Structure 1
Amino acid sequence: MRICLSLSLLLTLFLATAAHADDRPNIVLIMLDDLGFSDLGCYCGEIDTPNIDKLAAGGLRFTSFYNCARCCPTRAALLTGLYPHQVGLIRNGRSLTKNGVTIAEALQQAGYQTAMAGKWHLSQTNPIDGRQKQLDWLNHQSNFDREFAPLDTYPIDRGFQRHFGPIWGVVDYFDPFSLVNGTEIVKEVPDDFYMTDAIGDKAVEYIEEMSKQDAPFFMYVAHTAPHWPLHAKPEDIAKYQDKYAAGWHQLRDARYDRMVEAGLIDPLTFPKPALQGEGPDWNALSTEEKQHMAQLMAVHAAMVDCVDQSVGRVVQALKNTGRYDNTLILVMSDNGASPERYLNPGFDRPNETREGKPIQYEGIFNPGSEETWGYIGSYWASAGNTPFRYWKAQSFEGGAHTPMIAHWPSGLKAKPGSTTDQQGHVIDVMPTCLELAGASYPTTYDSHPITPVEGKSLAPIFQDQTREGHPQLYFEHEGGKAVIADGWKVVQPRQGGPWELYHLEEDRTETKNLASEQPERLANMKKQWQAWFDRVKPAN
């Protein structure tokens, strides 16, 4: 009996020691939605983001990091390490296919706990026949038990052991459509509900739950903000009430000048491009119109501010649970600021609140509440993406460039507060997570053959080393095309037209189109792009 007890005790001690010896890092991936490249304070924006700025001050900022220029494609590439076309997202709003494995699926196999709080947007939605029936559903006025998409496409079926958030991509921040807890439909929310706060609170709850176990965790915090509609809490809006009264040209100039002064950009290689936009420019607006436009940008800023407050609570939860030092936190955006303005209800845009109050889309109104559906529009988006040109959905730098911050107190060897111009892409996040977790990329998963990963680990950059990057990076979204290779970039606008050629090493902001001067280079890079697209596009 004594020998059996001793062996039992030894076994218990061995298992406990083995569990505590798992020093692999936790990974917290924080995604913002439609964030301008220079919106954050640490990227020289005027929005109050002290918590994210602290992560940057103690971590590493990337100045040449890319996404896929729009919500769904970026999220698909981020989670799988593959180009979006390879996993079903050749167009927005489709389901993530099973020939790719998600980070959550791969890390769960390696012993990680997994959780997600926030926007999924990787399930093909289930619309209802008939416009009014669709609107009634969006308005929370009928079909309360109807699933928002096939359940086997939900995060809970793609490796996340916990998930709370919207399945669709667009939400009323005060009363969101398609909100689920796992697979359970959340039919009603409290009167004081606000989506950004709820995502942050749920992330904190998950950290506290998972920290009770010895196993490390992977958590994906996918904010809906600052994606339209422009909804924010009055106390957050009040901070920015007069911030944007001087207009978008002043905002672009001020951000650009701060970037130069901070050494974030070199004006020789980042020449300031002309501000772009559609419709009347600032000086052509009436006083009333200027006030309205300034208020739209104030709400956008308030939404970013609220995300930062959420990040602060997540960081504090990591500290409270003793997980902070060995947690890699990544902060980024799915695309540049958005120029979109849909001025009527539709597929994912309600026309009434749950109580039947009409939602205003057009005209002069006071934005911020759920009875309005506002957008910042193209001029503010252009200023928000300073120093780059264009915006969301375009493959120009302003659409496909993201701020990216890496923070990891016990693992990051780069100088705290430093920047790196080494190129990266969201497809690199998957292999980075695998390397840090000591996990392998599977060839099959759940009986499905898995497409070989396209990304490359960022770990050498975290170790303050120079990594062998991508020989080429490719982009395509609904007609917007680009390839970057050897310091050059060819790009075709989303709306079609001639291809353009830029020497990024000398012109990072794409101000000098050299297509007519170097037709051979242009032709060769177009061939490169076509060969890539033929390789990654779906067979059907």
Structure 2
Amino acid sequence: MKHLLLLILCLLSGSITFAQKQITKPNIVIILADDMGFADLGCFGSEIHTPNIDKLAREGLKMTQFYNAGRCCPSRTSLLTGLYPHQAGVGDMVKYKGSPVYQGYLNEHCATIAELLKTKAGYNTIVSGKWHVGLQPSALAFNRGFDRSFIMLNNGSSYFNSAPLYNDGSKITFMLNDREITRNDTSKYLTQAITDFAIQSLEQIKTDKSPFFLYVAYNAPHWPIQALPEDIARYKGKYLKGWDKLRKQRYEKLLASGIIKKYWKLSDRDSRASDWDSLSPEEKDKWDTRMAIYAAMIDRMDAGVGEIMNKLKQLGKDKNTIVLFASDNGGSADEVKSLATVIQKNGTPGSVNSIDSYEIPWANVSNTPFRLFKRNTHEGGIATPFIAWFPGIIKAGSTNTQPAHFIDIMPTCLDLAGVSYPQELKNRKLTPLEGFSLKNVLLSKAWNGHDAIFWEHEGSRAIRKGNWKLVAEIDRPWELYDLDADRSETNNLAAKYPDKVKALEAEYLQWAQKVGVVDWNKIKSL
């Protein structure tokens, strides 16, 4: 009876006891990278200098089988709402595609983390960076629970200004709270601007006793690959060893760290990437420069993470703050130089006068040891390096290998804040959450997790149930993998276990009907 009374008192006061430390409504920081692969951080096998993010991993938790939704808009939607993207109206990107499930902006039946933490628990709420979950006023950050916001509405932008990026006449839109702003060539490098707004917002609320929720959505390292000259210089020449050797090097680091199992093979180099040794010296130099720019973008983002962490410490907020870090999808195979829709610029690589991407060969390195890329639902497209840091709460250097997904982030935030997910918000009926709180994972306790996790993006589709994964690209037959034995998806077992394929397909189709998936070929014909 005594213990029951104590539990009731804790619940009523909004405080929760983790391990030996009692916290009350922790500050919550979510940091999201854009188009960064599974193996692009130092703590996940990379040679790129990421000491600040590596420190979070060293002092916190790495989840090595954490999943995103495969692309920018769907992943951001799932992160913010705890729903599969289709359920929140963003089954694809931000253009209307013929049904409410593909309307292209957050619908009225979802709520964001900020809306619920603000209205139900009194949190100060801040977002800085890429928004990309709708262009409609009802879906903008200042109407979705954020007190302070500096956001980019589009998928990408120059890192030096807000000049048009596309040939269709569409503009790049940045917003400061509820008004549009223009970035010009004298503006800060975008990654720094995102960091600075986050820090300035924390400074503005430093005397407020209320907790805060900070969502930092970096645009790096999404194309166009552009970086500060001094950052590029630190990496130029380091990639002349080529992608074949670098993939092997990252693979070996992942093995040594225990992030991947010793019997998971390194997938073959993507067939569209050349043998590095077949390239001319001029070609090698071009490719080295591209990867140097990409690495510099991640390096600068990591420096921003360090600045934010230093500000938290300076304000005395770090001891009661949880930080979550992830990437919205795998490395991108986009070949921007071949896109007629993009305004082409061929100036100095990495500068404001250059529009370029690092393309298939280097994206294949980013996603080591996996296959395929952003937009695909093979592991290369949906595996994310996930890190959780909470001093005194999360065991330093811990690792969890259970499958989890972006849909779990919202319920985790609510659980930490002592907030129950409501059936309605502001007279809007809400779709029930799909995700589960990760609080037990953070505490190194048993977590029941998911019976199954699902994906669909532009016809690419998958289900993971236990160690089994059924996956197919658009208009392609199902492939079946035992991820415990083969997370690199190198041994297709579909022909060997046809009954398993049928059973998983039936479960996938049931989910697809539930969330409103439409045949992508029908959508394309609209």
Match of 2:24 in 1: 23
Mapping for residues 23-422 of structure 1, pairs under 5 Å = 23-93=24-94, 94-109=104-119, 110-123=121-134, 149-176=135-162, 177-189=172-184, 191-268=186-263, 270-278=264-272, 280-343=274-337, 349-351=342-344, 359-360=345-346, 366-412=348-394, 414=395, 416-422=396-402
Rounded Cα–Cα distance in structure 2 between residues aligned with 1:315 and 1:406 = 13
Residue 38 of structure 1, CA deviation = 0.7
Larger radius of gyration: 1
CA contact (8 A) 1:86 1:538 kept: no
Q: Which runs of 5+ in 2 are unaligned?
A: 1-12, 16-21, 95-103, 163-171
Q: How far apart are residue 192 of structure 1 and its match?
A: 4.8
Could you tell me how far 1:441 is from its partner in structure 2? 0.5
Q: 1:70 to 1:184 in 2, by over 3 A?
A: same
Shift of 1:366: 4.2
Q: Equivalent residue of 2:64, what SS?
A: strand
Q: 1:18 to 1:55 in 2, by over 3 A?
A: closer
Q: Report the residue type matching 2:110 in the other structure.
A: G
Cα gap change, 1:528 to 1:294, in 2 (>3 Å): same
Q: CA deviation at 1:190?
A: 6.3
Q: CA deviation at 1:241?
A: 0.5
Higher mean C-alpha deviation, range 313-322 or range 184-193: 184-193
Offset from partner CA, 1:199-244 (integer Å, 9 cap, x none): 0011111111222200001010000000000010000001101111
The equivalent position to 2:489 in structure 1, one of 503, 506, 510, is: 510
**Aligned partners of 1:118 and 1:221 also within 8 Å:** yes
Question: Equivalents in 1 of 2:448, 2:317: separation in Å?
Answer: 31
Contact 2:161 2:187 in 1 (8 A): no
TM-score, with length taken from structure 2: 0.89
Equivalent pairs: percent with the same residue?
41
Query: What's the CA shift string for 1:327-365, capped at 9, x where partnerless?
Result: 000010000000011336665x445xxxxxxx22xxxx6
Q: 1:512-527, aligned counterparts within 5 Å?
A: 512-527=491-506
Structure 1 residues 22, 457: CA separation in 2 closer, same or farther (over 3 Å shift)? closer
Does the CA contact (< 8 Å) of 2:14 and 2:418 recur in 1?
Answer: no
Given residue 439 of structure 1, which amino acid in structure 2 is its aligned partner?
Answer: V
Does the 8 Å contact 1:25/1:436 carry over to 2? yes
Deviations 1:449-504 (A, max 9, x none): 100000000000111112001000001100110000121000002x4211100011
For residue 427 of structure 1, what is the amino acid of its counterpart? I
Structure 1 residues 111 and 264, CA gap change in structure 2 (3 angstroms): same
- 1:393 partner amino acid: R
- How many angstroms apart in 2 are the aligned matches of 1:31 and 1:188? 22
| 8 Å Cα contact 1:326-1:411 kept in structure 2 | no
Q: What are the residue-to-residue correspondences of 1:468-483 with 2, within 5 Å?
A: 468-483=448-463
Q: Is the 8 A contact 1:26 1:216 kept in 2?
A: yes
Number of matched pairs? 482
Q: CA deviation at 1:102?
A: 0.4
After superposition, the C-alpha distances for 1:499-518 in whole angstroms (9 at most, x for unaligned) are 10001111111110000101
Query: What is the rounded CA distance, in whole Å, between the counterparts of 1:281 and 1:41 in structure 2?
Result: 25
Cα gap change, 1:189/1:322 in structure 2, threshold over 3 Å: closer, same or farther?
farther
1:442 partner SS: coil
Could you tell me which of 483, 486, 489 is aligned with 2:469?
A: 489
Q: CA deviation at 1:31?
A: 0.1
SS of the counterpart of 1:520? helix
Measured in 1, the distance between the counterparts of 2:271 and 2:356 equals 17
Question: What secondary structure, in the 3-state scheme, does the structure 1 residue paired with 2:456 have?
Answer: strand
**Amino acid in structure 2 at the alignment position of 1:335:** N
Q: Distance in 1 between matches of 2:402 and 2:517?
A: 31
- In structure 2, the CA distance between the partners of 1:163 and 1:192, relative to structure 1 (3 Å rule), is closer
Q: Is the 8 A contact 1:337 1:391 kept in 2?
A: yes
In the TM superposition, what is the alpha-carbon distance from 1:446 to its structure 2 partner?
2.1
Contact 2:24 2:417 (C-alpha < 8 Å) held by counterparts: no
